[in-house]
Amino acid sequence: MAKIRIPTPLRAYTEGASDIEVAGSTVGEALGNLVEQHPDLRLHLFQDDELRSFVNIFIGDEDIRFMQGLDTEIDAADSLRIIPSIAGGNQPRSHQSFRGKTIAGEEAPR
Amino acid sequence: MNVHLSSELQGKIFEQMEASYPNEGGGFLLGEAQDGAITILDIIEVENTFAEAEQYHRYAMRPQDWMRLEDEADERGLSLVGYYHSHPDSPAIPSEYDREHALPNFVYVITAVMMAKASDMQVWRLRADRSAFDSGRLSIT
């Protein structure tokens, strides 16, 4: 069976396992099998059945976006890897999304 | 969520963020999680690869940087516990853009850099349902 390497923050949803064996003959089938085994991963990998924009799938050093995407064929010897694209940025305060409480009454730690 | 960071590492982050101003800077946080507390033991600066004209309000890393540093963390017996970046002339509060690109179980350290001076640092974590960030308590030791 092919294997998928899970990024560190999402291993909380695979009972700590870093590599998961998956069934399937394409990347899409393998990811489908992965979220069947570990359903809590789905929200963080997919949005409306499409891979989230910051989720990259690599086979070895190759990004599947430059192959056949989710239709890329795989075999049992393949090692897939989920790699998040880390990104951030600021925008006007009125558009900021947070509900947490800042550390009230304390000076910014330095 | 409690996050422990040494004053030495915080100083390194501030120095890097001020050097990146007026653009955003960032990097990875390596450390360990134990009993609900996260201790940051090392930081690794990563180049901002967003289009240069947009770097004043955007930061991005190559997926290959994640791959390389996750392997390095594993080899060192550490974990990739989070990432840090700056908000030039903007508060240390996650933006909608941050939320859309965030992962759960990951520490987001944001430094506000006002007029080229690091002025505030806050720590955040995405909720499991992706709806918002919650703030954490940062302890500088």
- Percent of chain B past pLDDT 70, that is, above it, reads 100
Q: Is the dihedral of CA A9, A12, A17, A21 positive or negative?
A: negative
pLDDT-derived band at A25, boundaries 50, 70, 90: very high
DSSP letter at B72?
H
Torsions phi, psi for A18 (to 5 deg): -90, -25
What does the block give as tokens for A28? 């899409």
Q: Is the pLDDT of residue A99 over 50?
A: no
d(CA B130, CA A76): 33
B80 to A9: CB separation less than 8 angstroms, yes or no:
yes
Torsions phi, psi for A19 (to 5 deg): -125, 130
Torsions phi, psi for B128 (to 5 deg): -60, -25
Q: What is this structure's pTM?
A: 0.86
A12 interfaces chain B, CB cutoff of 8 Å: yes
Q: What pLDDT, on the 0 to 100 scale, is given for residue B139?
A: 97
Q: What pLDDT, on the 0 to 100 scale, is given for residue B32?
A: 93
Residues 6+ apart with CB under 8 A from A52: A44, A45, A46
Q: What pLDDT, on the 0 to 100 scale, is given for residue B55?
A: 85
Q: Please give the average per-residue pLDDT across B33-55, as a whole number.
A: 89
Q: What pLDDT, on the 0 to 100 scale, is given for residue A91?
A: 67
* Residues of chain B contacting residue A40, judged by C-beta atoms under 8 Å apart: 128
Q: Please give the average per-residue pLDDT across A77-93, as a whole number.
A: 83
Contact B133, A100 (CB under 8 A): yes
Q: Is the pLDDT of residue B99 over 50?
A: yes
d(CA B140, CA B83): 17
Q: Is the pLDDT of residue B58 over 90?
A: no
Distance from CA of B72 to the nearest CA of A (A): 12
d(CA A63, CA B36): 34
Q: What pLDDT, on the 0 to 100 scale, is given for residue B54?
A: 85
pLDDT-derived band at A87, boundaries 50, 70, 90: confident
Distance of CA A4 to the CA centre of its chain: 11
* Residues of chain A contacting residue B105, judged by C-beta atoms under 8 Å apart: 9-10, 12
Query: A28-71: per-residue pLDDT in tens?
Result: 999 999 999 999 999 999 998 899 989 999 999 899 999 999 99
Q: Is the pLDDT of residue B94 over 80?
A: yes
Q: Which of A59-63, A89-93, A102-106 has the lowest mean pLDDT?
A: A102-106
